[in-house]
Amino acid sequence: AEPHDYYPPLENMLFGMGNPLLDISAVVDKDFLDKFGLKPNDQILAEDRHKALFEEIVKRNKVEYHAGGSTQNSVKIAQWMLQKPHKVATFFGCIGKDRFGEILKKKAEEAHVDAHYYEQNEEPTGTCAACITGDNRSLVANLAAANCYKKEKHLDLDSNWELVKKAKVYYIAGFFLTVSPESILKVARHASDKNKIFCMNLSAPFISQFFKEPLMEVMPYVDILFGNETEAATFAKELGFETDDIAEIAKKTQNLPKENTKRQRVVVFTQGKDDTVATVGDRVTMFPVLDIDQNDIVDTNGAGDAFVGGFLSALVQEHALEECIRAGHYAANVIIRRVGCTFPEKPDYH
């Protein structure tokens, strides 16, 4: 598309599916991290030994609750960047019939996201403890209800599948591979068959390490793959790329087998304050991020999700890759100045 072409986004044009979580975020100290065996900057799934962490973090003096979940954050930010029309973004995921679930529904509505949750009462709504130290964040996700998403109970229902079919761009974080790979594959195959755009995220080192099989089953359908430098390095190691050069990793990832040959795969790796690396056609290009004073960084939690959200907002308008990355950098720059994945009323982006 020429730069002057403008494609106004339509309702339900962007589809996301993932783990809807309520973020419980607090500033902690190194002792707290050590007590629960956490790395300062990581994402993990909660185990039994983390039970006490959730009880302890809510007692911290400055605890904040925010709607979270990686994919849900990204589609919300895409919607925020677009502003109008409302409900460009659709979101599917599973919650419990409880207070936290009600909060997530209310927050999705306030963000003008068309959220259709599968609600069940076996498990409570999932939570994610965000343990903040300086500009690091260690995330511990207790999926609970989020883990109960069922393809046949929700995705396959005609009224829900109609919403999937309406979309032109699909985004699912790698985190959802631990929950319902069959749901991901159904959506990914639909996108591929209809020559629509399917995007995925490496999400966390543990996905490439322990969920490599479902990840590689979806990979042939992935048109755009996101990840950060740590995730890229882990992915490369798991696939035996034998290189730690991020541009080289991007290139090798781009060249992995692909189902829909009409679209060349795009690989986008962010590296915090360092340049974002992306495959542009057959080349690998570096895109510098926006400058920010270290003192203005409040909390990097949600920066990756925000980058994807900004990127998707430009993608649904059929903007060029460079423009999508610029929008991603803008959104991430806004989010790191605030606690959690939260944003001001309107973007100031042109």
Q: Return the active site residues.
A: 305
Name the strand (E) or helix (H) holding 30: helix 30-35
CA distance 15 to 165: 9
Q: How far apart are CA 69 and CA 115, in angstroms?
A: 13
Of the chain, the end-to-end C-alpha distance in Å amounts to 18
Cis peptide preceding 344, ω within 30 of 0? no
Rounded to whole angstroms, the Cα distance separating 206 from 174 reads 10
To the nearest 10 degrees (0 to 180), the angle between helices 246-254 and 229-238 is 60
DSSP string, 80-114: HHH-SSTT-EEEEEEEESSHHHHHHHHHHHHTT-E
Cα(192)–Cα(219) distance, integer angstroms: 11
